[in-house]
Amino acid sequence: MRYLYSLLFISLSVTIAFSQSLPPGTYTSNNKKAISLFEDGKKMLDIRNYEKAESKFNDAISKDPNFIEAYALLGVIFIETNNNQKAIDNFKKALSPYYVNNYYQLAELQFHSGQYTDAKINLEKYLSFPRINPSIKEEAEFLLKSAKFAEAQIASPLPIKPINMGERINSAQEEYLPSMSADLKYFIFTRNYLDRRNCENEPDQEDFCMSVNNEKSVPVIELNSNCNEGAPSLSVAGNFMFFAACGDQNLVYLGNNKGYGSCDIFYTEKINGKWTKPQNVGPPINTANWETQPSFSSDGKTLYFVRGGSRNHVGDIYFSEIGNDGKFKEPIKLGDNINTLKNEQSVFIHPDNKTLYFSSNGRVGMGKTDIYMSRKQEDDSWGPAINLGYPINTVDQEFKLVVSPDSKHAYFSSKREGGFGELDLYEFELPEALRPEKITYVKGHTFNAKTKDNLEAIIELIDLETQQSVTSAYSNSAGEFLVTLTSNHNYLVNVSKPGFLFYSDNFSLKDKVADYNKPYQLQIPLQPIDTGIIELKNIFFDVNKADLKAESKAELQKIIAFLKANPTLKVEFSGHTDNSGDKVFNKTLSNNRAKAIYDYVIEKGPILAANLSYKGYGDTKPKAPNDSPENKAKNRRTELKVLAK
C-alpha cells in the first residue's frame, strides 16, 4: 500500500445493461441449454467465483456462438482479473444495438490499453445512439476528446527520450517523488521496499534515499524508520525539508500523539550535517484529512501540497503562505485551471516561482494520469493547464515531474520496459516550450565584520523595480546561504541579525544571460551595533535633488523595522557628496537628502524623534579619492550612523 501518493488506477466501469430493447427475461440466444449455463455462470459471477463463471460462460458459448450476453460477462470477468486484452476480445463479440453500452465498455478498455483509434471509433458509434445514459454520455464525450488528443500526440511525439537514471538511483524496488537542491548537490527521493512490511504490518514500506554529488544513493538513516515517510521537498539550499508521514509513523515523531490525520506534513532541518527530529507542521496545514506531497517554494514563503479526503484518496492542490508572524496562513485551494472534479496530485513549484507542474486524471490526456504544467499570470492567477504530451505522458500513469533549477532537465517516475523495478526515476532534456523561466542562484556568506566569525542571519532579496520581496532565506551556522533568482532584474539585498546593524546592498542581473554554472557570490560582513555605520545603498535620489525615489521604499521600511527593534539607539542620518560642483550647494544637497530620510522615518515610524538626527557633510568625508567616476560614485552616499546605544 502506497501511503504518500495514490496510483489512481482507473477502475473500468462495467456498464452492461440487461437489456435496452429485448423483452424482459429474454436473451439474444434461444438455446435453452446455453441460457441455463449462462444463468449458472451469472450466479458464480455474483459470488466472485471467476473460474467457475468463466467455465460456464464458455460452455454457454459452445452451445450458441452468437450468445452476446455470455461474451459480455466474460469481458467483465477479465476486467475484474486485470486481463484487458481478453476483455477487449470478448467485448468485440458483444457489440449489439440491444446492448449499446458495450460499445462504451469496449472503447474504455481500448483507450486504457493505448488502442486510441479503435477507442475513438467505438466511442463515436456509442454516441450516435439515441437515448443513452446521460452520465455515461458525459464520460464518453470526455474519453473521445482524450482519444483524439492521444492519437494526435502519438502521430507527432516530442523529440525527447526519457532515460532511466540507472542503478545510482534505481533498484528492484520502487523509486518516486524526487526533489533536489538548487546547486544539484542533493537529490533525494522516496523508495518503496516491496519486500518489507511496514509498522502497521501492511505490505511495502516507504523510506528516504539520497544521492550526494551524483554518488550512489543511500538511505537517510536519521529520518527513516520501519514506518512510512517520503515525498520530500528540499529547500533550495538543501538544508531544510518538508515531507509527508502517514499512519503510525506519526507515533515515531510525536510520541503518543497520532497527529492530525491519516497523513501529515512534517519538516526537518539539517544542522552540522544531520537532520533534526522532524516536527509536525500542524494546523492549518494538517487536518483530519490526508495531507501529503509538499512542495516548498524557493521564495521561502509558500507551501504547496495535496489534500484529500482519506489516506487512499488524492484530492486537490492547495497552497499556504507564511505570514508576518512566521506561521502558515489558512490554505487556499488552487483554481479551476489546476484542480478538477477528479484527482490532482504530485505538485511541484519550480524555483522560478512561476511554473507549476502536477498530475491529474481529470483532464484530457493519454491514460491513467498525465503530467501538466501551468504558468503564473501577472495577476498571480494560474494559467490554463498544458498537457506535457507524448512520450512524457503515455497510456500508463506518470506523476511527480520535477525540473532542475537550471530549467533544462526533468525527472519523473514511470513504469516502462527495461527498468529496474516496478517504478523507476527517469530523466530527459525538457523541450524549450515546456521549460520554466531561466534562473540563477546566489551563494553568500555572512560573518562578523569585527571578529570574522560566521553568523546565522536572515536574508531578504527584493526586486528593486517592483519593491516586492522575491525570496528570503537563513544562513546556517557556517554563515552560508543559497537562494535562486530570475535573471533580468535588479535586486536589493537586506541582511539582519539581532545585535548587529542591518546590511544593505544591491546588484544587477539585468541584461545578463542566466548561467547556472556561474552563481552570483556575496560576502556580507555584519557590524555589531556599537561599531557603527551602515551605508544605505538602496536609498535613491535624482541627480542634484533630495526627493526620495520610489525604489527607496523597501530600504526605508527596513530602517524603520531596525529602529523599532532597537528603540534606545541614537542615530544620525548622514548625507555625503563627491567634490564636483559648488561646495555650498553640495553641503545643502547632502543635508536635504539626510533630512528626507529623517522626515520619512518620523512620519511612517513612528519613531521617537529625540533619538534621531540628520546632517549633511558635503564632500568633507570621502570614502575614496575623488579621482575617477567610480570613486566619485562611492562618495555620493547616505548613511545611518549609530551615535549611542
Identify which of 25, 16, 304, 279 has the alpha carbon closest to the alpha carbon of residue 133.
16
Check residues 147 and 313 and name the one with the higher pLDDT.
147
Min mean pLDDT across 15-19, 124-128, 459-463 is at: 15-19
CATH number belonging to domain 533-645:
3.30.1330.60
**Is the pLDDT reported for residue 2 higher than 70?**
no
CATH number belonging to domain 438-531:
2.60.40.10
For the whole model, what pTM was predicted?
Answer: 0.84
The C-alpha cell that represents 503 in the structure block = 546590511
Min mean pLDDT across 114-128, 164-178, 530-544, 583-597 is at: 530-544
Identify which of 14, 16, 29, 88 has the alpha carbon closest to the alpha carbon of residue 61.
29
Q: Does a cis peptide bond (omega within 30 degrees of 0) precede residue 19?
A: yes
CA–CA distances in Å: residue 515 to residues 186, 409, 485, 520, 627? 20, 15, 12, 10, 34
How does pLDDT run across 65-116, given as a tens digit for each residue? Answer: 999 999 999 999 999 999 999 999 999 999 998 899 999 999 999 999 999 9
d(CA 305, CA 300): 15
Of the pLDDT bands very low, low, confident and very high (cuts 50, 70, 90), residue 258 is low
- For CATH 2.60.40.10, list the domain ranges present in the chain: 438-531
Tell me the residue ranges of DSSP E strands in 309-438.
Answer: 316-321, 332-333, 344-349, 355-360, 370-375, 386-387, 399-403, 409-414, 424-429
Q: What is the mean pLDDT of residues 158-175?
A: 94
CA–CA distances in Å: residue 59 to residues 39, 55, 67, 83? 11, 6, 11, 20
Identify which of 504, 496, 616 has the alpha carbon closest to the alpha carbon of residue 564.
496
DSSP 504-541: EEEEE-TT----TTS-EEEEEEE-BGGG-EEE-TT--B
Q: What is the mean pLDDT of residues 547-557?
A: 92
Instruction: For residue 241, give the H/E element and its range.
Output: strand 240-246
DSSP 458-514: EEEEEETTT--EEEEEE--TTSEEEEEEESS-EEEEEEE-TTB--EEEEEE-TT---
d(CA 5, CA 204): 13
Q: What pLDDT, on the 0 to 100 scale, is given for residue 10?
A: 42
d(CA 610, CA 180): 51
Say if residues 534 and 582 touch (Cβ distance below 8 Å): no
Architecture of the domain made up of 32-155: Alpha Horseshoe (1.25)
d(CA 286, CA 280): 8
302-308 and 316-321: which strand pairing? antiparallel
Instruction: For residue 197, give the H/E element and its range.
Output: strand 186-197
Say if residues 359 and 348 touch (Cβ distance below 8 Å): no
d(CA 512, CA 142): 46
The C-alpha cell that represents 483 in the structure block = 537562494
Identify which of 222, 216, 171 has the alpha carbon closest to the alpha carbon of residue 195.
171
d(CA 93, CA 106): 10
Identify which of 485, 483, 484, 489 has the alpha carbon closest to the alpha carbon of residue 459.
483
Say if residues 551 and 628 touch (Cβ distance below 8 Å): no
Of the pLDDT bands very low, low, confident and very high (cuts 50, 70, 90), residue 16 is low
Check residues 253 and 224 and name the one with the higher pLDDT.
224
Identify which of 366, 5, 368 has the alpha carbon closest to the alpha carbon of residue 150.
366
Q: What phi, psi does 355 have (nearest 5°)?
A: -125, 120
d(CA 110, CA 581): 84
Radius of gyration of the chain (CA): 32
Dihedral of CA 127/101/19/61: which sign? Answer: positive
Q: What pLDDT, on the 0 to 100 scale, is given for residue 227?
A: 82
Of the pLDDT bands very low, low, confident and very high (cuts 50, 70, 90), residue 605 is confident
Q: What is the mean pLDDT of residues 262-270?
A: 89
Q: What pLDDT, on the 0 to 100 scale, is given for residue 69?
A: 94
d(CA 178, CA 95): 45
Say if residues 524 and 495 touch (Cβ distance below 8 Å): yes
Residue 641: strand pairing partners: 533, 572
Q: Which residues contact 47 (CB under 8 A, 6 or more apart)?
A: none
